[in-house]
Amino acid sequence: MIIILLLWEISTIAFHVDSKVLPSFTDILSAFQNKFIPIILPDLLITMKNLVLGYVIAVPLGILIAAICAQSQTLVKIATPLIIMTLVTPVIIIVPILIPFIGFDAKIKVLVVILQTAPIIILNSLVGFTNVKQEKLDLMKSYGASRFEIFRKITFMDALPRVFAGLELGCILSTIGAVSGDIAVGDGGIGTRIQMAASTLATDTVFASILSTCLLAIILFQVVVWIERNVIAWK
Amino acid sequence: MKRKISSFLLPAAAVIILFILWEISISIFAIPAWKLSRPTEIAMALFRDYKEILPAVFYTYTNVIIGFVLAMTVGLSLGSFINGNKLAGVTLTPYVNLLCTIPLITIVPLLMLWFGIGRPIIILTIVIQSFPIMNFNCCVAFANVDPLRLELMDSFKVGKLKRLYYCILPDAIPGVFTGIKLSAILSILSSITAEMTGGNQGLGAQINVFVAFLKMPQAMACIFYIALLGLVLYYSISHIEARIMKTRNNEGEQAS
Amino acid sequence: MLDNFFLLENIQKSVYTNEGKTIRVLDQVDINVENHEFICIMGPSGCGKSLLLRIMGGIDNMSGGKISFKGNVYEDGIDKQTKSDFGYVFQHDNLLDWRTVYQNVHLPLEFDKKSNTKKTDERERILNVLKLVGLDAYEKSYPRELSGGMRQRTAIARALVHNPSILLLDQPFGALDAITRKILSYELLKIWHREQKTVIMVTNNIEEALLLSNKIYVLSRKPSNVTHIIDVPFTYDERWTNLLEHPEYEAVTEELTGYLSERSEHENAHESQDNHSTVKSLDHYLASLGDIDHRVSC
Amino acid sequence: MEMTKTKPFITLEHVNKEFVTKNKTTRALSDVSLEVSKGEFLVIVGASGCGKSTIIRLIDDIIKPTSGTIQVDGFEYDNTKPISKDFISRMGFVFQIPNLYPWLTVRENLLLPLKLLNINTKEHVEYAEYLLDMVHLQNYAGAYPNEISGGMAQRLGVIRAMVHKPEILMMDEPYGALDELTREQMDIELLDLWKQLGTTIIFITHDVEEAVLVGSRIYVMKSDPGRIVADVPIEFGTNRTINNKFTHQFSVYCDQITELIGEIDLSKIK
């Protein structure tokens, strides 16, 4: 890591590259110092608000939908292609269509995050709910447990590792959703900040905001991993 | 054979019902055309304006395929390289895993700055966004190969290459395919987003144009094409995986 | 009709393989179980003995026949209410990895609506049953931290905690090594005696069956029915001595081994002139059962 | 085929083996010495955890000893580098779980060792077909491991370790997972193969009866720390059948060995 940074520093100075094209590392650091608080932070917070809000809604929503679909095989067959379709279509293109319905405020960005995150959570949880070991289900039959009891006591717990894999992927997609939501809708958010800075060739702010978004994404991801490690303590 | 048909007919029927519901709900709630167009209008747009849409479709599809194949090869080779020697493993893995979690859409404006607008930066975005997830899944798959099978290799003192070919690669197929599916999804995502933010051609850009001119049906038609690409890619990959896996008792499809 | 404790009359069961074929596994099985009796069910692999046990426990339903238990008759398997009077132990312990030993043993009580025992009674009962199997010190540990023998003991404790009158064991020690298997079978003998339970056990270990049971039902090959019933001539105290020296031990062992491999001689008669010893043709017969065996779990 | 007292074919002298895990080091083997003469059917029996599987993994050079020397047919193992490839081809290893590759057919699994040791002569491939026929798997040759039963998979595991005609065959509780009846047939079948091929076999089991049935000599081991406590020769000659089990001599041997392993004290349970 340090080697790369050193190389970067030397190359920019040695070839005295125009700071507009590739700012040296120290430029970026200075950009961080003076520009972080006034410019980058507020936008970062807006995006983070949408991101976290969207994610927190998408998680229970996704698991709930997966639980409902898992109840019958036909439902699973019908739901899977639909889920894949929503998963694959980048939500950013639906934004211009949603705007006439919802209008321009932040709600739409949260919706973008939800629509981007929920499908992968549903897909993973669905796979988890439909692949429970037969022996565990037999155990429940020996107690004459009802369908709901079986789900609550066995299926959900047995599928937890798969569900969390979905949550991790969801976290990645939600950050993508949040940033693309900013770019598509505009009006605040780190995405627009980067775009504007790039258009005004303020490359050091571009780099600084990119690094801060990446930092935000990494922190959120580690939070999800940390929660998983505590919840699935028995592994 | 019966199971095959029902597993295809059912979802198709569901989609058709969805379209019909969509159609009826528009007429009931009398939603103005510029807000939401009817499926019939979209279908017409598909046929009438194919001259306008097709070049964009062709442009995006080629980008996605090239980017996806590149990302896959880079991910797979990096994965086997990391699995190969320990040093590379220790130094590279943390960074590649971090790359997975970073929304690389942010670098599109930067790339535009450096390379201007056009096909190269879109393909570059696709590769950068999709190869880490592929590499991550490959590394995980290569790492937890069944130790017993490795022990069989040890008992014959087999070289690294043979070990990879006979034991590690075949055993890791489920994990590798999960990686392939995920990078396919991310490739499409990143290509459209790149086109919308930085490109001037391709479906992403075309949608911007259509929306600007309030030609909703055409915009929806483009979305249809993207969804179609996604479905085709996803199901063809699962089909290939199923055929390879038919020889083993695989534990069902999972996107880890 | 005298009020028998637990009676199975001509139980039939056929299974549908995914190629659409239907295979008759249980032809007409009749089993009569007295209260406080220890019954073993044996038979060649693939004869459906585990399937029979699953039907008794209400896990699989039967294609025909009648089950009567404590006087009332059940046409298609015991109902939910009576299931709380049964305890089932699986071959691979089947513990829930996300629960501690205490919570695993607590599981059956969560389905026992009728007994509104308070929290403290439940805890006391669980600790008793854990002490019975010698695991009272492992209350808080997770299944992954336990050895094979200890996991199986937890499964037995779980099957005892709601005080069922019948215990159903499906090859409980099949997956354990010989030494642990011997220790656990003696412990099971003690539990059966002290708790006055009725036990029905499926096994293919001859020594184990002779040590534990009063009566052994031998099933034939598919479609199976009861071909022999052996009364095991050892009293409870004799079982704690070295049975090898027991006068009738060798006779009853030979009788049982004869019945179990009986069907094979019958097959050899019209087997092709195979120059290998008879063992090979029995082996051949087993091999042909291989693929069916794969789908029907017994 | 009477075994003359030749120079010991395989010897272990004062071998110790410790496994270091993050919180404790376990002494799997402490000061173990044993000899195996050529063509002998040696059985090692003992409770789980007495290090019997470790011994054969040392001989097959899968793991290295902490101290002590291992010698096979005059060649002493160097504790730093693995033994040579052609030496490896003289040894076969049978795992407790058949350990077949599910993506290869039965025949491909069988031929895998030939590919790994690149000895792919026509004669070896023919020999593989002969082995398939001997264990009744020839009409399953095209099938995949998940389509055959446990017994068949186990038999495939055994012949796979013999396809390259090893002089030494090491078997780690190969029939542990099978039910009693099938296990007895496998034992008898193994004796047939041993008689025909004259391979030196080291057979690991925790079942005393199986040990006495097949073994021409039995090492009894105890655990923590893993050590050999007795060396019991079995005089049943080479052509044995199931009815050897019912002879009086058989139960005498069984008692003797169970005694050595340490009887379970029933009073504690009662």
Confidence band, pLDDT 50/70/90 cuts, at residue B92: confident
Is there an interface between A and C (3+ Cβ pairs < 8 A)? Answer: yes
Q: What is the pLDDT of residues C89-143, one digit of tens each?
A: 998 888 998 899 999 999 988 887 655 667 778 888 899 999 888 888 888 888 8
Please spell the DSSP secondary structure of chain D, one letter per residue: ------S-SEEEEEEEEEEE-SS-EEEEEEEEEEEE-TT-EEEEEESTTSSHHHHHHHHTTSS--SEEEEEETTEEPPSSSPPPHHHHTTEEEE-SS----TTS-HHHHHHHHHHHTT---HHHHHHHHHHHHHTT-GGGTTS-GGGS-HHHHHHHHHHHTTTT--SEEEEESTTTTS-HHHHHHHHHHHHHHHHHH--EEEEEES-HHHHHHH-SEEEEEETTTTEEEEEEE----S---GGGGGSHHHHHHHHHHHHHH----HHHH-
Confidence band, pLDDT 50/70/90 cuts, at residue A235: low
Q: What is the pLDDT of residues D220-265, one digit of tens each?
A: 888 777 888 888 888 877 777 777 777 778 878 888 887 777 656 6
CA distance B20 to A115: 23
* Residues of chain B neighbouring D105 (CB-CB closer than 8 A): 247
Task: Look at residue C272 and tell me whether its pLDDT is greater than 60.
Answer: no
* Residues of chain C neighbouring D152 (CB-CB closer than 8 A): 287, 290
Q: Please tell me which of the candidates A143, A232, A234 has its beta carbon nearest to residue C111.
A: A143
Q: What is the pLDDT of residues D87-119, one digit of tens each?
A: 888 888 898 888 888 888 899 899 988 888 888
Which positions ≥6 away from C74 have C-beta within 8 Å? C66, C67, C68, C82
Q: What is the per-residue pLDDT for C1?
A: 43
Contact (Cβ atoms closer than 8 angstroms) between residue D46 and residue D261:
yes
Provide the number of CB pairs (under 8 Å) joining chain A to chain C: 49
Confidence band, pLDDT 50/70/90 cuts, at residue C262: low
C-beta atoms of C293 and D149 within 8 A: yes
User: What distance, in Å, lies between the first and last C-alpha atoms of chain B?
Assistant: 30
**D36 bridge partner residues:** D10
Is there an interface between A and D (3+ Cβ pairs < 8 A)? Answer: no
A149-163, B139-153, C91-105, D175-189: range with lowest mean pLDDT: D175-189
Contact (Cβ atoms closer than 8 angstroms) between residue B19 and residue B39:
yes
Sheet containing C22-33, strands listed edge to edge, beginning at the edge strand earlier in sequence: C22-33, C6-16, C64-69, C72-74
Chain D residue with minimal CA distance to C178?
A: D207
Minimum distance, in Å, between the CA of residue A235 and any CA atom of chain C: 8
* Residues of chain A neighbouring C57 (CB-CB closer than 8 A): 142
Confidence band, pLDDT 50/70/90 cuts, at residue C2: low
Does residue A215 sit within a domain? yes
B109-118, C96-105, C225-234, D36-45: range with lowest mean pLDDT: B109-118
Q: Which of B245, B239, B152, B164 is nearest to D146 (CA)?
A: B245
Angle at CA of residue D259, ends D255 and D260, nearest 5°: 120
Provide mean pLDDT across the span B100-125: 76
Is there an interface between B and D (3+ Cβ pairs < 8 A)? Answer: yes
* Residues of chain C neighbouring D206 (CB-CB closer than 8 A): 177-179
Residues constituting chain D = 270
Tell me which DSSP letter residue C244 carries.
G
- Of A1 and A189, which is predicted with more confidence? A189
Is there an interface between D and C (3+ Cβ pairs < 8 A)? Answer: yes
Q: What is the per-residue pLDDT for C114?
A: 56
Question: Tokens at residue B85, please?
Answer: 């020697």
C-beta atoms of B247 and D116 within 8 A: no
| pLDDT winner (highest mean) among C110-114, C167-171, D18-22 | C167-171
Q: What is the pLDDT of residues D29-42, one digit of tens each?
A: 888 888 888 888 99
Q: What is the pLDDT of residues C70-89, one digit of tens each?
A: 888 888 778 888 888 899 99
Provide mean pLDDT across the span C140-164: 89
* Residues of chain C neighbouring A150 (CB-CB closer than 8 A): none
Task: Look at residue B215 and tell me whether its pLDDT is greater than 70.
Answer: yes
Best residue in A135, A136, A139, A148 to probe C by mutation, most C CBs within 10 Å?
A139
C-beta atoms of C283 and D246 within 8 A: no
Q: Which of C297, C260, B146 is nearest to D149 (CA)?
A: C297
What mean pLDDT value characterizes chain B? 78
Q: What is the per-residue pLDDT for B15?
A: 76
Q: What is the pLDDT of residues A32-90, one digit of tens each?
A: 777 667 777 788 888 888 889 999 999 999 999 999 888 888 888 888 888 888 887 77
Q: What is the per-residue pLDDT for A57?
A: 92
Question: Tokens at residue B154, please?
Answer: 């040890």
Confidence band, pLDDT 50/70/90 cuts, at residue C179: confident
For chain B, which residues make up each domain, given as ranges? 34-242
Best residue in A156, A157, A228, A234 to probe C by mutation, most C CBs within 10 Å?
A234
The string over A207-230, giving b where at least 16 C-beta atoms fall within 10 Å of a residue's C-beta and e elsewhere, is bbbbbbbbebbeebbeebeeebee
Contact (Cβ atoms closer than 8 angstroms) between residue C45 and residue D185:
no
* Residues of chain B neighbouring D93 (CB-CB closer than 8 A): 152, 155
Q: What is the per-residue pLDDT for A59?
A: 92
Angle at CA of residue A137, ends A132 and A138, nearest 5°: 140
Residue A48: strand, helix, or coil: helix
Q: What is the pLDDT of residues C16-40, one digit of tens each?
A: 876 778 888 888 888 888 888 999 9
Task: Look at residue B228 and tell me whether its pLDDT is greater than 80.
Answer: yes
C-beta atoms of D264 and C182 within 8 A: yes
Q: Is A141 within 8 Å of chain C by CB?
A: yes
User: Which residues 206-235 of chain B have a CB within 8 Å of chain A?
Assistant: 207-208, 211, 216, 219-220, 222-223, 226-227, 229-231, 233-234
Collect all residues from B whose CB is shorter than 8 A from any CB in D: 148-149, 151-158, 162, 166-167, 170, 173, 244, 247-249
C-beta atoms of B223 and A183 within 8 A: no
Q: What is the per-residue pLDDT for A161?
A: 86
Q: Percentage of chain D surpassing pLDDT 90?
A: 3
* Residues of chain C neighbouring A142 (CB-CB closer than 8 A): 57-59, 83, 86, 88
C-beta atoms of D140 and C279 within 8 A: no
B125-129, B216-220, C280-284: range with lowest mean pLDDT: C280-284
Q: Which of B75, B53, B91 is nearest to B133 (CA)?
A: B75
**Domain tally, chain A:** 1
Minimum distance, in Å, between the CA of residue D240 and any CA atom of chain C: 12
Q: Percentage of chain D surpassing pLDDT 70?
A: 93
Does residue A13 sit within a domain? no
Contact (Cβ atoms closer than 8 angstroms) between residue C87 and residue C166:
yes
Residue C232: strand, helix, or coil: coil
Q: Where is A209: in which H helix or E strand?
A: helix A203-231
CA distance A203 to D85: 59
Task: Look at residue C293 and tell me whether its pLDDT is greater than 50.
Answer: no
Task: Look at residue C283 and tell me whether its pLDDT is greater than 60.
Answer: no
Provide the number of CB pairs (under 8 Å) joining chain A to chain B: 163
> Hey, what CATH topology would domain B34-242 get?
MetI-like fold (1.10.3720)
C-beta atoms of B157 and D101 within 8 A: no
Task: Look at residue B151 and tell me whether its pLDDT is greater than 80.
Answer: yes
C-beta atoms of C206 and D185 within 8 A: no
Q: What is the per-residue pLDDT for C155?
A: 93
Contact (Cβ atoms closer than 8 angstroms) between residue A53 and residue A106:
no
Contact (Cβ atoms closer than 8 angstroms) between residue C59 and residue A143:
no
Does residue A2 sit within a domain? no
Minimum distance, in Å, between the CA of residue C108 and any CA atom of chain A: 7
Task: Look at residue C236 and tell me whether its pLDDT is greater than 90.
Answer: no
Confidence band, pLDDT 50/70/90 cuts, at residue C154: very high
Q: What is the per-residue pLDDT for B250?
A: 38
Q: What is the per-residue pLDDT for A77?
A: 82
Question: Tokens at residue D229, please?
Answer: 């406590």
B46-50, B142-146, C268-272, D259-263: range with lowest mean pLDDT: C268-272
Task: Look at residue A30 and tell me whether its pLDDT is greater than 60.
Answer: yes
C-beta atoms of D264 and C186 within 8 A: yes
The CATH number assigned to the domain holding A61 equals 1.10.3720.10
Question: Tokens at residue B101, please?
Answer: 């979690």
Q: What is the per-residue pLDDT for C181?
A: 83
Q: What is the per-residue pLDDT for D61?
A: 84
Touching subunits of D (3+ CB pairs, under 8 Å) are B, C
Best residue in B150, B153, B157, B243 to probe D by mutation, most D CBs within 10 Å?
B157
Chain D residue with minimal CA distance to C261?
A: D181
Largest interatomic CA distance in chain D? 62
Q: Percentage of chain B surpassing pLDDT 90?
A: 0
Provide mean pLDDT across the span C168-188: 84
Confidence band, pLDDT 50/70/90 cuts, at residue A21: low
Task: Look at residue D4 and tell me whether its pLDDT is greater than 60.
Answer: no
Contact (Cβ atoms closer than 8 angstroms) between residue D8 and residue D35:
yes
Q: What is the per-residue pLDDT for D202?
A: 92
Best residue in D101, D104, D149 to probe B by mutation, most B CBs within 10 Å?
D101
- Give all domains of chain C, ordered by start, each with its CATH number: 6-92+165-287 (3.40.50.300)
Q: What is the per-residue pLDDT for B150?
A: 85
Q: What is the per-residue pLDDT for D263?
A: 57
User: Which residues 14-73 of chain B have a CB within 8 Å of chain A?
Assistant: 14-15, 18, 34-36
Q: Is A113 within 8 Å of chain B by CB?
A: no
Q: What is the per-residue pLDDT for C105?
A: 92
Q: What is the ipTM of this complex?
A: 0.73
A94: containing domain: 22-231
Provide mean pLDDT across the span A86-95: 77
Task: Look at residue B245 and tell me whether its pLDDT is greater than 60.
Answer: yes
Confidence band, pLDDT 50/70/90 cuts, at residue C169: very high
- Of B45 and D3, which is predicted with more confidence? B45
Say which residue the tokens 């794969």 belong to.
C294
Q: What is the pLDDT of residues B69-83, one digit of tens each?
A: 998 898 888 888 887
